[in-house]
């Protein structure tokens, strides 16, 4: 299911914990699996469950709770706009609207070229920089329409 390199990486995570606490590596294992496969299909989650000797329902609970895990295929870049209280009060609705208009997609959709997926997420712990969004591994704070355009321009240039 996963490459030997990914399995080795998961084993390194597992080895950080006592032998009877393999399940502590669950989140790391899911992240590694998702990075390799692109999303967490039922088959991948079942594989992780078997590898860590964790009930499959437990894996599913974790995978569905955290917004960083994708159960369906997503674009090359994932744009996560926080719409929790601080961000909402500071204009997250406008942020989402601006991105939807620019990309021609709605929240939950992926651009037709498969490059970008737009999602709405709960607090990402950067409330002081509201409104904010996460794109892949980077946080972008104090968003304005101008700033969003600059960030997306940069992303599109990198992809070209
Ligand atoms: S409310 Fe948006 S980062 Fe906390």
**Taking the chain, what is the end-to-end CA distance rounded to the nearest angstrom?**
31
Report residue 72's pLDDT band, with 50, 70 and 90 as the boundaries. Answer: very high
Architecture of the domain delimited by 77-159: 3-Layer(aba) Sandwich (3.40)
C-beta of 121 in contact with ligand 1 (< 6 A): no
Query: Which of 80, 90, 121, 132 to probe ligand 1 with, by most ligand atoms within 8 A of CB?
Result: 132
Where do the structural domains in the chain lie, given as residue ranges? 4-65, 77-159
User: Please, is 94 exposed, middle or buried when counting C-beta atoms within 10 Å of its C-beta (0-12, 13-18, 19+)?
Assistant: middle
pLDDT tens track for 42-70? 999 999 999 999 999 999 999 999 989 99
């Amino acid at each position: 299911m996963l490459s030997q390199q990914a399995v080795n990486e998961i084993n390194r995570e597992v080895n950080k914990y006592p032998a009877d606490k393999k399940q502590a590596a669950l989140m790391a294992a899911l992240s590694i699996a998702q990075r390799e496969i692109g999303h967490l299909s039922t088959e991948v989650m079942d594989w992780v469950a078997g590898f860590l000797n964790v009930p499959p329902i437990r894996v599913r609970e974790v995978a569905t709770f955290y917004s960083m895990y994708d159960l369906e295929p997503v674009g090359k870049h994932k744009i996560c706009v926080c719409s929790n209280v601080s961000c909402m009060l500071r204009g997250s609705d406008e942020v989402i609207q601006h991105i939807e208009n620019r990309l021609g997609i709605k929240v939950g959709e992926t651009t037709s070229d498969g490059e970008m997926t737009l999602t709405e997420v709960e607090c990402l712990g950067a409330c002081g920089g509201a409104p904010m969004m996460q794109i892949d591994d980077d946080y972008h704070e104090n968003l304005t329409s101008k700033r969003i355009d600059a960030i997306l321009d940069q992303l599109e240039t990198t992809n070209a």
